[in-house]
């Protein structure tokens, strides 16, 4: 075995160890999304508490990944291509951490919402949206491990569905609030949850974009579709 091969294999082993942590982190975040959405729908405060407490483990993993990546760069002085992988690992872990934060925030709101009357099945719609984001995350992480740019691109395209679900919910919440002012507080919280779930989708998309960049060296096919039209769409003007 030559000296160079030896160095490469140590580097690969280190990198694999970091990627294993990414996968572990991904698993925890996926569970957090599903648990948070379930706790919201079934008003399960114990499950919500589990999500809140569990976020600590996700944060700790991000910190470990950052430290490992920095150590790897310092010790192994990776080449440009390898460096790109290490830097992408850091970005992906940062995205995962943010998704975990949103799940925690959803779980926090479960406690307040449990004290209010439910809003016409919105919790069920939110859980459906969370499931979609969860599926996308699973696929994005698979595409990362398999270095599959096609699969990653498919995830990016699906983000538009999540945005559409959000837009529909936004409209619904406005209607519920106008119909009965007693719905306002609950709808404000539910709307936050919807927006945060939509943002989770953005972070999943960002992970998929990292994969495309890693594999092809370029940015994804077309600009990321910006599906939240509530900030510009005329349909949300006061006439509605």
First vs last C-alpha separation in the chain: 72
Angle between helix 80-113 and 3-42 (nearest 10): 10
For residues 220 and 86, give the distance between their C-alpha atoms in angstroms, rounded to a whole number. Answer: 20
Residue 177 binds its own copies (CB under 8 A): yes
- To its own copies, the closest distance from the beta carbon of 105 in angstroms equals 6
Contact between 99 and 137 (Cβ < 8 Å): yes
In sequence order, the 6+-apart residues with CB closer than 8 A to the CB of 153 are 208, 212, 220, 221
In sequence order, the 6+-apart residues with CB closer than 8 A to the CB of 218 are 212
Q: CB nearer to its own copies: give 59 or 148.
A: 59
Residue 115 binds its own copies (CB under 8 A): yes
Q: CB nearer to its own copies: give 8 or 94.
A: 94
Residue 24 binds its own copies (CB under 8 A): no
Residue 2 binds its own copies (CB under 8 A): no
Residue 8 binds its own copies (CB under 8 A): no
Which alpha helices (H) appear in the chain, and where do they start and end? Answer: 3-42, 45-76, 80-113, 122-145, 149-179, 184-216
HSE-CB at 62 with a 13 A cutoff on CA atoms is 17
Residue 118 binds its own copies (CB under 8 A): no
Residue 23 binds its own copies (CB under 8 A): no
Residue 203 binds its own copies (CB under 8 A): no
**Residue of 64, 78, 135, 154 that binds its own copies (CB under 8 A):** 78
Residue 73 binds its own copies (CB under 8 A): yes
For its own copies, the binding residues (CB under 8 A) are 66, 70, 73-74, 77-80, 83-84, 87, 90, 94, 105, 108-109, 111-112, 115-116, 170, 174, 177-178, 181-182, 184-186, 188-189, 191-192, 195, 231-232, 236-238, 240
């Amino acid at each position: 075995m030559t000296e160079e091969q030896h160095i490469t294999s140590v580097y690969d082993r280190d990198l694999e160890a970091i990627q294993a942590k990414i996968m572990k982190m991904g698993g925890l975040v996926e569970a957090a999304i599903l648990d948070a959405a379930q706790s919201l729908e079934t008003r399960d405060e114990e499950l919500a508490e589990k999500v809140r407490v569990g976020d600590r483990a996700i944060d700790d993993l991000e910190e470990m990944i950052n430290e490992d990546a920095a150590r790897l760069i310092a010790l192994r002085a990776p080449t440009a291509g390898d460096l790109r992988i290490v830097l992408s690992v850091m970005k992906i872990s940062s995205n995962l951490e943010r998704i975990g934060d949103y799940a925690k925030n959803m779980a926090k709101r479960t406690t307040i919402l449990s004290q209010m009357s439910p809003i016409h099945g919105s919790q069920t719609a939110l859980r459906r949206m969370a499931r979609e984001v969860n599926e996308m995350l699973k696929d994005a992480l698979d595409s990362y491990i398999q270095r599959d740019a096609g699969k990653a691109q498919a995830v990016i395209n699906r983000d538009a569905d999540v945005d559409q679900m959000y837009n529909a919910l936004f409209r619904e919440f406005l209607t519920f609030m106008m119909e009965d002012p007693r719905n306002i507080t609950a709808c404000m919280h539910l709307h936050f949850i919807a927006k945060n779930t939509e943002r989770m989708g953005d972070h999943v998309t960002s992970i998929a974009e990292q994969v495309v960049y890693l594999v092809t060296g370029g940015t994804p096919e077309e600009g990321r579709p910006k599906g939240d039209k509530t900030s510009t769409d005329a349909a949300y003007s006061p006439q509605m």
